[in-house]
Structure 1
Amino acid sequence: MTSFHEAPAVYTGAVYLNVLDLDAMKAFYTDIIGFRVLSEADGRIELTADGKTPLLVLENREGLHAKRPNRAGLYHFAILLPSREDLGAAILHFIQKGVRLGASDHYVSEALYLNDPEGNGIEVYRDRPADEWNWNDGQVDMATVALDGDAVVRSAQEAGRTWNGLPEETVMGHVHLHVSDLAETERFYREGLGFEVATYYPGALFMSTARYHHHLGLNVWNGEGIPAQEKDSAGLKAYTLVFPDGAAVLKAAEKLRAIGAEVSEEGGQSVTADPSGNRIILQAGA
C-alpha cells in the first residue's frame, strides 16, 4: 500500500490545521476518526496512527477567526487505510457514532467523506491495487460513482475486522485544495516540485509522483481568481510534502526559486506557498 508514500516518491505528510476549539477537535479526531495523541503542549496537538509519525497537527492561538467562504485552502485531506476490510470497519464505526457520511467509488479507490466540527473536509479511503488502475494516454481513469457500501462492510465482517482506531499502517494519502487558477497551479507543482498530471477533471486536476492516482487534488470549484485564506483564519495552516532526502529538498527549493516562487526557512524547515497561498512544508524523509 505504501509504495506510493515512501521514497523515491514525493508524497503528502502531516497536515496542519488552525482550530478554534482545540478540545472539541481533539475529541473528534481521537474518538471519531481514531487518531492517537502523539504530543500535546502549548495549544498544539500532534495526532498519529502509528505512535511515532504525526499525520495531523491541530494548533490554536489567540486571534483566529472562522474561515471565510469562497477562498483558497483545504477541500479535504485524505486518510488512506491499508485495506478494504479496514474501510468496512470504519463504515460500521461511523454509523455507530451517528456520523453523516458521503461515499464514492472512484475506480482507483473506495472512499468515505465527512466534515470535522469546524467544517474541514476529510476523506477516508482505501486504494484498489495499482494493477487494477486503468491508464489511457498517460491519464488514469477516475470517476465518482456510487460506492457498494454493503460489499465493503461484508469484507470487514467476513474477515472479522473490527474498529480499534486507525490502523498503524495508515498514511496521509493525499491533499485536495481549492485554488484560484488551474494553469498557474499546474505549472507551480510540475515545474517547481516535480509532480505530473495524473488526470484532468472538470474544474480540477490531479497530480502525483511515481504514477500514483494522485497525491494532490486541485480545483477551482470555489471560483476562479479566489483570494487566499487569511493567516489568522481557522482551517488549513500548511501541509507537508515529503522528499526522499535533504538533497531532494534543496533541489526542489532551487526549482521553485527558478520559477519565481519564494522559499523561506522557518524553524529549520523549508517552506513555500503555491500561487493560491496554500503553504507547503518541504520535508526530508527519514
Structure 2
Amino acid sequence: MSHQLHPDIELGELKLKISNLERSLQFYQDVVGFQIKSKQAGRAVLTADGEHPLLILEEIPDAVIVPKRTMSGLYHFAILLPTRRDLGIALRRLIDSGIHIGQADHLVSEALYISDPDQNGIEIYRDRPRESWQRDANGNYKMTTDPIDWDGLLDESKDSSAERLPSGTTIGHVHFHVGDLQKAKAFYCDLLGFDIAADLMRHMGALFISAGGYHHHIGLNVWAGANAPAAPANGTGLAYYTIVVPTRAELETIVERFRKADVPVREQGQAWFVIDPSGIEVRFIL
C-alpha cells in the first residue's frame, strides 16, 4: 500500500432506503433518540444535536424489505455515544420500548444491537479509553463478544433519562456484508489506504479496518455467503455512507487514485461518489 488514508478521517451521514417513512421516523425518534432536522415528501434528515445530519431516510416506491444475511450491503451502522452513562441511558430507553436488544462487550467498546422496522442493523455503543485497547502478537486489536455488564450500565445511568441522543453523538463505524473479502481488502486497504485493525478472515470471515489507529471504521464480512449479490434497486438498506476527509489535498489524492485504478468516480455537488466491489456506494466530502 503506497498511500495511507489520512488519520483524521471521520464517518459522516448515512442514507437509508426504507419502506415507510412515518413508521421509521417514529422508531428513530422514540426508540433510538434522533431529532428531525428537516422533512419533505418521502424523505427526512435526522440529527443528534439539531444541526449536523447523521442519518437520511428515504422512502422508496414498491420497496422490498431485504431479509437479513442474504445480500451484500449493510450489516449494521454504529452510533457512537460520548460516555458510558449515555449508553446506560440508551439502554433504559431501549428496554422501555420493548424492542429486542442484542449486546456484547468487545473489550475496546460496549455495544447494544437492535434492528429498525426494515431490518437494518443498528449498533449503539461507547468506546473504552484508547489507552486500554490491546493488540495481539500479530498486531490485531483484541476484540471479543463477551457478555455486557448490563447491571453496571443501568447503575451508571440510575436516576437519569433522556428522550434524545446526546450532543457529541457520531457515526462511529459501519459494518458490511461483502461478496469477496479479498476484493474488499484490495479496494479499501490497497487502493483507498485504510489500515488493517484486525484480520479475522481465516477464522471468522471478517476484516476490520481503520485510519489513525481506531479499532475499526469499517467492518467487512462474508456472513451473507461468498459472492452474495447486491440488493435490488428497490430493496431496503444502505443507499450510501460518507467518509469525511480533513483536507482538500487528501480528497484530491483519493479521487486521483480511483481514476488511475479505473474506478468510476462521480462528482455531485460538493461530494464524490464511488461504488465498491460489492455494490456499496461511498460518498467522500470535506
Alpha-carbon distance in 2 for matches of 1:48, 1:268? 20
What is the RMSD of the two structures over their aligned residues, measured on CA atoms? 1.4
Question: Counterparts in 2 of 1:214-253, with a 5 A limit?
Answer: 214-253=216-255
1:210 to 191, 212, 222: 212
Offset at residue 232 of structure 1 (A):
2.2
Gaps of 5+ in 2: 1-5
Q: Which residue of structure 2 aligns with residue 3 of structure 1?
A: none
Shift of 1:142: 0.6
Alignment of 1:28-47 (within 5 A): 28-47=27-46
1:149-176 CA distances to partner (integer Å, 9 max, x unpaired)? 111111112xx43223100110001000
How many residues end up aligned between the 2 structures?
Answer: 276
Aligned to 1:259: 261
Is the Cα contact below 8 Å between 2:177 and 2:221 reproduced in 1? yes
Question: What do residues 169-224 of structure 1 show as CA deviations (whole Å, max 9, x unaligned)?
Answer: 10001000010111110110112322111002211000000000000000000001
Q: How does 1:137-156 map to 2 (within 5 A)?
A: 137-156=138-157
Mapped contact 1:64–1:234 kept (Cα < 8 A): yes
- Equivalent-residue separation in structure 1 for 2:232 and 2:260 (angstroms): 26
TM-score when normalising by structure 1: 0.93
Please state how far the C-alpha of 1:92 moved relative to its aligned partner. 1.2
The residue number in structure 1 matching 2:84 is 84
TM-fit CA distance, 1:8? 4.7
| Structure 1 residue 268, shift from structure 2 partner | 3.9
Q: Determine whether 1:184 maps to 2:183.
A: yes
How far did residue 62 of structure 1 move?
Answer: 2.5
CA distance in 1, matches of 2:59, 2:270: 21
The answer for the alignment partner of 2:114 in structure 1 is 114
Alignment of 1:96-111 (within 5 A): 96-111=96-111
- CA separation in 2, counterparts of 1:216 and 1:101? 22
Q: Distance in 2 between matches of 1:195 and 1:92?
A: 35
TM-score (norm 2): 0.93
Give yes or no for contact 2:71–2:230 (8 Å, CA) kept in 1.
Answer: yes
Looking at structure 2, the residues matched to 109 and 251 of structure 1 have their Cα atoms a distance apart, in angstroms, of 32
Name the structure 2 match of 1:4: none
How far apart, in 2, do the equivalents of 1:232 and 1:98 lie?
A: 29
Percent sequence identity is 42
- C-alpha distance in structure 2 between counterparts of 1:142 and 1:8, whole Å: 21
The answer for unaligned runs of 5 or more in structure 1 is 1-6
Deviations 1:58-110 (A, max 9, x none): 01232433225621010000000011111111111111111110110000000
Q: Compute the displacement of 1:250 (Å).
A: 1.6
Measure, in 2, the Cα distance between the counterparts of 1:91 and 1:15: 23
Question: What SS does the aligned partner of 1:139 have?
Answer: coil
User: Would you say the 8 A contact 1:271–1:282 is kept in 2?
Assistant: yes
How many Å separate the matches in 1 of 2:184 and 2:78? 20
